[in-house]
Structure 1
Amino acid sequence: MEHPHIPLEDLQAQVAACRRCPLCDGRTQTVFGVGNPEARVLIVGEAPGKNEDLQGEPFVGAAGKYLNELLAIAGLSREDVYIANVLKCRPPSNRDPRPEEIQACTPFLREQTRTINPEYIVTLGNFSTKFILKTDVGITRLHGTLQRAGRFKVFPIFHPAAALYDSKKREALENDFATLGELLRGEV
């Protein structure tokens, strides 16, 4: 089965259509899909901020530089992965979305995550973890533990931005990316 690469412009058109949803009034939301569509690893993050919206590139700035370091720990680079920054209703308080918001966005998220056929899905943060695993269990409990979602191996990890201000999360992130590298090399 062929899994087409969806160009960023097409994804942005989907976002423009979704902005008509009444749940999204006054909120920012984006869908980004960039990287290698043949990658073994799909990284599913949360919607980026305004600067990333403007640049059309996920994970820029401090969190992006840190993600590059984390990928190197796993023996990867951005050319080795596909990054899907998924649609997210994002209120000013930046709180977790309500269940009805996740349900409203699910068709867009599902389409984005099916653009490639990865061996592993790495979820960064609560939103993507809860969406992919269809669970209410948070990232604090699930990070670093290999999970299953249908035929996919899912590896939940803290979002790199969370580790910029929390040394415990930084250590956990670096350990989890080291484990990801071991998984990819068949050492675990």
Structure 2
Amino acid sequence: MTNRELRSRQKAALETPTCFSPEATRDLAGALNALLADVFALYLKTKNFHWHVSGPHFRDYHLLLDEQGAQIFATTDELAERVRKVGGVTLRSIGHIARLQRILDNDADYVDPQDMLAELRDDNNALAARMREAHSLCDERGDVATASLLENYIDEAERRVWFLFEAGRRGNA
């Protein structure tokens, strides 16, 4: 068996039966994989800040970021499974995530806690906006199941934005 035949056979083994056209599958899987890469990037950044937060509000911020990280991570499996259900293939590696992610990493040795909260607030806000874009695509392609899932994730992201904004406020500002 040639390499080409083997690759064709392997690809056929992953073709999930779906009611979506090949174009819709391509578009939906592409949008969801990009979202999934962003979710993994945001999860790791949230955990990074959780592990490295310091200062007088350490306990509150540490617990908040741990809770938010768990919530973000909980979305990964359902998003990846939606990619498979619509007939696509999903992320396979950290490298794949790095190629698709739009949430920027933060590898700084030290980040001020207020800057952590602001950065995560902005990242969650951007994620919610990208989820809305994916939701519009789902509407166009008739993918009501993914659209419904995204509605809940948008609400969760907006709640994280709200909490990060309020936790990061100084005084009565």
TM-score band by shorter chain is under 0.3
| TM-score, normalised with respect to structure 1 | 0.24
Larger radius of gyration: 2
Q: Which has the higher helix share?
A: 2
Q: Which has the higher strand share?
A: 1
| TM-score, normalised with respect to structure 2 | 0.25
Q: RCO greater where, 1 or 2, for CA within 8 Å and sep 6 or more? A: 2
